[in-house]
A and B are shown apart, each in its own frame.
Chain A
Amino acid sequence: MRPDAVRGHLDGLILAVLEDGPAHGYAIIEALQARSGGELDLPTGTVYPALRRLERAGWLSGSWSTVGGRERRTYRLTRAGRHALAAQRADWRSFSAVVDAVLRPAAGPA
């Protein structure tokens, strides 16, 4: 998948991964790759500034904690983040329904 196509939706993807519970950067990347069946081909380094931006947006809350013996920055969804995720899902559903309808081959006599 082209990285450009993914980048626009990265926010929603990150929020969705965190819906299940708090996670640190690499765990989020692994979850993104696992859930997309390896199709997401984004440079993994781009996730970290995205996480900070989502934190600035008030959708994530980040903190340093000790995980597996190392200091890691962990993120969790805020309430505003959950609302944003719901909104992104709704947007995606209506968007893909529209594109689907337009792209569908016109039914008609063969």
Chain B
Amino acid sequence: MSADPIEVRVGELRRALRGPTRRKRCLLAEARDGLLDAAAAHRARGADPGTAARRAVAEFGTVAELAPGYQAELSAAQGRRTAVLAGLAFPGMTVGWDLLWSSGVSWGGPVSEQVRVMATAQDATAGAVAVAAIVGLVLLGLGARRGAPARHAVLAIGLLATLGALGCGGLAVTMNVLAGAGAVELLATNPTAWPAFAVSTAVMAVLLRSGVRSVRLARAG
């Protein structure tokens, strides 16, 4: 028995698309529902099930015609996700570390000018990326209204999140290396510092992964 034309077309479309798994599944489920409805309508008009399914698939469009539109939505969904993550994570980390420092946790000795400058740079980067992420979200929404391709906004968001995570992470590592003995003493005398470092690293890793995904999808079109 030959394969159901509807499942074949949905499968072809699925293989042509990349993006967030749940969103992809949701979108394809909706498309399949539509195909089933269309086939049912043809059957109601007297076609046999096989013909009805083939007609529904023919009216639906080819993968070449459809994939760009579907991919654009998946890319936009990924971009949105990265933007929201960046918009929350960067301010969250800044506030979290501020709380930690003000609770008395500190490096052993006086902080060098170099480290102070880096700390300011880190805060500035975090702030700038968070603001840019929110701007990116707004642009995605406005672009959706004009039917503009989301690709550019998604690429920008992805790059910002990636570079922001690398930048803030890099600055953090450098500061701790420069603080040298102070950093070791910090970890030795403050048990709260360990989870703080661990969480920061995890958050930056998640941000980095999300940013890279957005960049990849934006370039895939």
Contacts and interface: CB of A to CB of B under 8 A. Distances in A.
B144 interface: yes
Q: How large is the interface on B (under 10, 10 to 19, 20 to 34, 35 or more residues)?
A: 20 to 34
A37 interface: no
A26 B37 contact: yes
Nearest to B59: A44
B34 A29 contact: yes
B145 A52 contact: no
Given A46-B61, A56-B144, A26 B69 contact: no
A87 to B, nearest CB: 10
B73 interface: yes
Given A53-B144, A56-B141, A59-B145, A45 B34 contact: yes
- Which DSSP category, helix, strand, loop or mixed, fits chain B's interface? helix
Residue among B29, B61, B76 having the largest count of chain A Cβ atoms under 10 Å: B61
The contact size tier of chain A is 20 to 34
Contacts of A44: 34, 38, 59-61
Contacts of A22: none
A45 B61 contact: yes
Contacts of B142: 57
Interface string B24-68: 001101110110011001000000000000000001111001100
Contact of A43 (B59, B80, B140): B59
B72 interface: yes
B195 interface: no
B87 to A, nearest CB: 17
Contacts of B62: 43
Interface in A31-58: 43-50, 52-54, 56-58
B147 interface: yes
Contacts of A104: none
Interface of B: 13, 26-27, 29-31, 33-34, 37-38, 41, 59-62, 65-66, 69-70, 72-73, 76, 80, 140-142, 144-145, 147
Q: Please give me the 10 A-B residue pairs with the lowest Cβ-Cβ distance, nearest first.
A: A43-B61, A26-B37, A57-B144, A49-B69, A56-B144, A57-B145, A45-B61, A45-B60, A45-B66, A26-B34
21 contacts: A25-B30, A25-B31, A26-B33, A26-B34, A26-B37, A30-B41, A43-B61, A44-B60, A45-B31, A46-B69, A47-B34, A48-B30, A48-B34, A48-B70, A49-B70, A53-B72, A53-B73, A56-B144, A57-B144, A71-B29, A84-B145
